[in-house]
Amino acid sequence: MSAAAAEWLAPTSLDAALALRAERADATVLAGGTFLGILINQGFADPPALLSLGGVAELRTLAVHDGELRIGAMVTHRALERDERVREGWPALARAFALVASPRVRNQATVGGVLADADYASDPPAMLAALEARVVLHSPRGTREVAVEDLILGYYETCIADDELLAEVRVPPAPERAVYRKFRSRSSEDRPCVAVAAAVRGDALRVVVGAVADTPQHFPDVCARGPGEAAAIGRAYAERIAPIDDARGSAAYRRRVIAVEVRRAIEALT
């Protein structure tokens, strides 16, 4: 079967989407389609039915509630990066989304989609983890919140259950300072070779490195040294991480980049 022949399921409310998700185990969730579309077009996926979230208005809301940023799963990267509240309150987050691919992709790709696809070479997960964001997962059984850091379990694997939908991302009030650094080794529109997100809240430093392993990498004990130890923390991250070897860089190359980029990110915080 081809995508053109797939049954099109188009709920207009979250409840209806959840009911379909539970009833139709054969249906694949479709958000912006920038990831899934490639899988289908290249013959890696052949879903008999597509459960499109495009008509669910509840999933497109972007709001600030008690200082917390609440991002509906269907908010696009472009909408997020251009939102004045996000640019002023969470500028590093706006920047991380603005560095994804091209405007054409960002106009289509959604915040829920980039987390649910769990691609190791994505930009947003490391930044969201550094900001201590959580996702809200809904199912007919109820609702649960999971830290972004715990959502991604491995390559293209999350803890989202078969009957769950990722409905919202909640980002706590912004830390005093945060930064996102994307190191590309090929074209300016490419995915990162090494992605470093760092944030400082009070005395607490959080450094999360993305695109170098199956999941975003965070070492609280290393971060406990504090922002004054930028070079030592960079070296420690490079030693602790077992980097992947892919078209964007060998493991040895990545180790060197991690040490430098982590140091630079921490220095940019101070």
Ligand X SMILES: Cc1cc2nc3c(=O)[nH]c(=O)nc-3n(C[C@H](O)[C@H](O)[C@H](O)COP(=O)(O)OP(=O)(O)OC[C@H]3O[C@@H](n4cnc5c(N)ncnc54)[C@H](O)[C@@H]3O)c2cc1C
Closest CB 199 distance from ligand X, rounded Å? 18
Of the two residues 94 and 200, which places its CB atom closer to ligand X in the complex? Answer: 94
Counting contacts by CB under 6 A, is residue 113 touching ligand X?
Answer: yes
| Binding-site member from 14, 18, 31, 131 for ligand X (CB under 6 A) | 31
Candidate residues 40, 114, 131, 266; the one interacting with ligand X per rule CB under 6 A: 114
Burial of 225 per CB tally in 10 Å (0-12, 13-18, 19+): middle
**Is residue 266 within 8 Å of 237, Cβ to Cβ?**
no
Do the strands 204-210 and 194-201 form a parallel or antiparallel pair, or are they unpaired? antiparallel
Please identify, among the stretches 6-14, 29-37, 85-93, 201-209, the one whose residues bind ligand X according to the rule CB under 6 A: 29-37
Summary count for the chain: helices (H), strands (E): 12, 14
- Residue 110 in contact with residue 29, Cβ under 8 Å? no
Work out how close the CB of 204 gets to ligand X at its nearest, in angstroms, rounded to a whole number.
26
Give the Cα separation of 3 and 123 in Å (integer).
28
Full DSSP string of 50-81: EEE-TT-GGGG-EEEETTEEEEETT-BHHHHH
- Give the range of 3-11, 25-33, 214-222, 224-232 binding ligand X by CB under 6 A: 25-33
Q: Minimum distance from CB of 32 to ligand X (Å)?
A: 3
CA distances, 43 to each of 3, 9, 22, 32, 38 (Å): 10, 21, 26, 18, 8
| Strand residue runs (E) in 102-247 | 134-139, 142-147, 152-154, 157-158, 165-171, 177-183, 194-201, 204-210, 217-218
Instruction: Rule CB under 6 A: say whether 40 interacts with ligand X.
Output: no
Based on the shown chain and the rule CB under 6 A, indicate whether residue 148 belongs to the binding site for ligand X. no
Minimum distance from CB of 111 to ligand X (Å)?
Answer: 8
Minimum CB–partner distance for residue 127 and ligand X (Å)? 10
Give me the least distance between CB of 214 and ligand X, in Å please: 15
Question: Is 10 one of the binding residues for ligand X (CB under 6 A)?
Answer: no
Site string for ligand X, 215-244 (x = CB under 6 A): ------------------------------
101: alpha, beta or left? (left if phi > 0; alpha if psi -120 to 50): left
Distance CA 205, CA 223 (A): 6
Question: Per-residue x/- mask for ligand X, residues 57 to 96, rule CB under 6 A?
Answer: ----------------x-----------------------
Using CB under 6 A, list all residues that contact ligand X: 28-36, 38, 53, 73, 100-101, 105, 108-110, 112-114, 116-117, 122-124, 160, 165-166, 191
